[in-house]
Structure 1
Amino acid sequence: MRAVTYQGKEKMTVTTVPDPKIQEPTDAIIRVTATAICGSDLHLYHNGNMVLNDDYVVGHEPMGIVEEVGPDVKNLKVGDRIVVPFNVSCGHCHFCENDMESQCDESNRNPETDYGGLFGFGKLNGDYPGGQAEFLRVPYADQTSFKVPDNHIADEKVLFLSDIVPTAYWSVEHAGVKPGDTVIVLGSGPVGLLAQRFAKMKGAKRVIAVDRVKHRLEYSAKKIGVETLNFEEVDIPGMALKDMTHGGADVVIDCVGMDGKQRKLEKVTNLITPQMGTTSPIEMASMAVKKFGTIMLTGVYLTPATNFPINHIFARNVTLKSGQTPVPHLMPKLYEMIKNNEFDPSDIITHTMPLEDAAKGYEIFDKKEDNNIKVVLKP
């Protein structure tokens, strides 16, 4: 089959790899009908050698048609149309039974790690080849899937149930956003835009989007109706946000992570310490949140952080939350919200292209070219 594979720093290439096969009786094989490039994939694009071998199949936002099922699969049959969450979860451990599927005890047996398995993130994350491919093996298929009830609803409407829709929704919920709050969202990429929308739906009085990409900030302002700040237009963004909010926001949601803009000193720091990428979004959040406020880290951080502002967070009684979203249990509720037209996640799609053009899609997405927000690939 054809699949997107990691070939070194900033090099994702479509190559021919072996077709996946049933390995366990609880597996299913799907024919992928749509998949997407995620901001988390850019962490691999820039720093993939930390977790990936060359030729590893990437991607964790797929959906498709069931082609084959193992003998112990009970809830799926050949021909079913499913969305596959980025969490690999067994369904019966303590964490899965308590809606904490991202920390499944069974899906990642790597002795070097202590968290659940993920598609497309290599051996440290359970060694599950990803879904930017023509076919995908789905382990624990009954649990690691959402069967789409209505076959007339377009792939583009439900594809993002795999990751970015529940990630944005859970970020707002986990952060405790409530009616009347002021919420700052760092980043107007796909997750950030959806988080801004969910914060408004939750009843936030003010939502402020922070980015430096003009067309993404314009989307935030025009399509979602939130305030915006281009952080490159102010001297100290965290202090500017604190001034805008008269003492700080109730909640700051960091949807950027380690791939934010690095300061010059960090480029040196990253050569002599375990840190890679930047901690600037965390530092901005620590300045912009009010005393007794909440910071939610949604953007990915893969390495230790040298300048983590724990002193500032502690001294001001700030609550810090973080983590991988437990997707499976959220999918039915969010599907119903999409079906009932409460929001439309497909309106962030700016580029749809064949799987064979994935390298171009990564470059456009990484550089934010051609007014890009979200790339969908069609095998």
Structure 2
Amino acid sequence: MKALTWQGKRDVRIETVPDPVIEQPTDAVIRITSSGLCGSDLHLYEVLTPFMTPGDILGHEPMGIVEETGSEVTNLKPGDRVVVPFQIACGHCWMCDSGLYTQCETTQVTGEGMGAPLFGYTRLYGAVPGAQAEYLRVPQAQFGPIKVPEGPADDRFVYLSDVLPTAYQAVMYADVPRGGSVAVLGLGPIGDMACRIAKEKGAGRVIGVDLVTERLRRARERGVETYDLRDFDSEKELVAAVQDVTDGRGPDAVIDAVGTEAHGSHAAKFVQNAAALLPRGIGSKLAEHFSVDRLAALYTAIDMVRRGGTISLSGVYGGQADPLPLLTMFDKQLQLRMGQANVRRWTDEILPLLTDEDRLGVDGFATHRIPLTDGPKAYEMFQQKRDGAVKVLMQP
């Protein structure tokens, strides 16, 4: 089959690789019909390269048709249309019973000290072959895949794999009071969708911050009050502007949908780039023990949120030696919630929003739909924020 593979920093290529097969009785094999390109994939393209191996198949936002199932997969049959969550969980361990599917005790990557494995996402998360391919082997298929109706285009449901539950968890973790205020830092796919969900859940004021014209425009069209980072000389000016429109206190919650590749963190960017250029064995050791994140977005969230407010992190961070202003966080009595989305925890709540009314605007959410063979160009375009790229779907 054809698959999009990682070959080095900013180097992804279409390769011919072996077709996946059933390896365990809880496996299924899916023929991919759509697969998203995620902001988290860009971390592999640039920052997390020390944890990658040439030939790794990328991608973790798949939708497709069941081709084959293992003997213990009784809930699916060939021909079923499914969306596959980005993490792999059993659905029956203590963690799964608690709704913490990213911490699944059956599938945890214990050798790396990490939680549940993710499709197409580094050796830290199991080095499981990803979904930017023609076919995908799905472990724990007795629980993970979500059956969806025939008929509507893939765009209606494909975001259940990652974008929708990640944004939904970000809003739920933000704990915005009904009629309250929330600021969303970063209006990429997750931030954009988080704004939509916050409004759907009853937030009175939704503020979005970015520095990409197309992303700001999309958010404004959905009724979000937007702030262009380029209009401010400093982070302090932005914080003051947002506080001015939230009773001088700051918003009740701030969602950081940016993560480790925030603009304005030049020293951390230098360290990340240096680690990525070292031989993989040395670079991975450096990243595991001494890595730092670009923390501009998180620092802004800490300064911006009101005292007693909540910061919800959905942007991915990977640093092990990040300096945080704990005095400020403690003094402001902040709550900080974070983590990979527990996809199946939220999908039953989200599905009713994906009705004929399309209340979240998923049908028009993708800015680009491209053949899988154009995947390398898509990574470059998305990483450079060219051509209005906000959300890219690949189709084999």
Q: Could you say what secondary structure the match of 1:258 adopts?
A: coil
> 2: distance between equivalents of 1:154 and 1:89?
27
In 2, are the aligned partners of 1:34 and 1:159 still within 8 Å (CA)?
yes
Q: Could you say what secondary structure the match of 1:260 adopts?
A: coil
Partner of 1:230: 228
Partner of 1:160: 159
Q: Any stretches of 5+ residues in structure 1 without a counterpart?
A: none
> 2: distance between equivalents of 1:126 and 1:193?
29
Partner of 2:373: 356
Q: For residue 328 of structure 1, report the CA deviation from its aligned partner.
A: 1.5
Partner of 1:2: 2
Partner of 2:384: 367
Normalised by the length of structure 1, the TM-score is 0.96
What CA deviation, in whole Å up to 9, does each residue of 1:104-140 have, x standing for no partner?
A: 1111333222311111113221231110000000001
CA RMSD of aligned residues (A): 1.6
Q: Could you say what secondary structure the match of 2:67 adopts?
A: strand
What CA deviation, in whole Å up to 9, does each residue of 1:268-327 have, x standing for no partner?
A: 555598234411111000110000000001000012253322221111101011001100
What CA deviation, in whole Å up to 9, does each residue of 1:50-94 have, x standing for no partner?
A: 321111001000011111111111100111111000010011111
Q: For residue 204 of structure 1, report the CA deviation from its aligned partner.
A: 1.2
In 2, are the aligned partners of 1:175 and 1:321 still within 8 Å (CA)?
yes
Partner of 2:323: 307
**Alignment-mate amino acid for residue 303 of structure 1:** G
> 1: distance between equivalents of 2:191 and 2:367?
16
Aligned residues between the structures:
377
Q: Which sits farther off after the overlay, 121-130 or 33-42?
A: 121-130
Q: For residue 142 of structure 1, report the CA deviation from its aligned partner.
A: 1.7
In 2, are the aligned partners of 1:110 and 1:125 still within 8 Å (CA)?
no
- Listed as ranges, the matches of 1:46-61 within 5 Å are 46-61=46-61
Q: Could you say what secondary structure the match of 2:202 adopts?
A: coil
Q: Could you say what secondary structure the match of 1:78 adopts?
A: coil
In 2, are the aligned partners of 1:122 and 1:129 still within 8 Å (CA)?
no
**Alignment-mate amino acid for residue 314 of structure 2:** T
> 2: distance between equivalents of 1:200 and 1:190?
16
Normalised by the length of structure 2, the TM-score is 0.92
In 2, are the aligned partners of 1:189 and 1:216 still within 8 Å (CA)?
yes
> 2: distance between equivalents of 1:307 and 1:214?
31
Partner of 2:278: none
Partner of 1:328: 344
> 1: distance between equivalents of 2:78 and 2:220?
44
What CA deviation, in whole Å up to 9, does each residue of 1:183-221 have, x standing for no partner?
A: 000011111011001111111111110000011101111
Q: Could you say what secondary structure the match of 2:91 adopts?
A: coil
Q: Could you say what secondary structure the match of 2:307 adopts?
A: strand
> 1: distance between equivalents of 2:141 and 2:60?
15
Q: Which sits farther off after the overlay, 243-252 or 262-271?
A: 262-271
Q: Any stretches of 5+ residues in structure 2 without a counterpart?
A: 276-285
Q: Which sits farther off after the overlay, 233-242 or 135-144?
A: 233-242
- Listed as ranges, the matches of 1:118-197 within 5 Å are 118-148=118-148, 150-197=149-196
Q: Which sits farther off after the overlay, 286-295 or 171-180?
A: 171-180
Q: Which sits farther off after the overlay, 291-300 or 311-320?
A: 311-320
- Listed as ranges, the matches of 1:263-274 within 5 Å are 263-268=265-270, 270=272, 274=290
**Alignment-mate amino acid for residue 187 of structure 2:** S
Partner of 1:240: 241
- Listed as ranges, the matches of 1:96-115 within 5 Å are 96-115=96-115
Q: For residue 263 of structure 1, report the CA deviation from its aligned partner.
A: 2.7
- Listed as ranges, the matches of 1:69-84 within 5 Å are 69-84=69-84
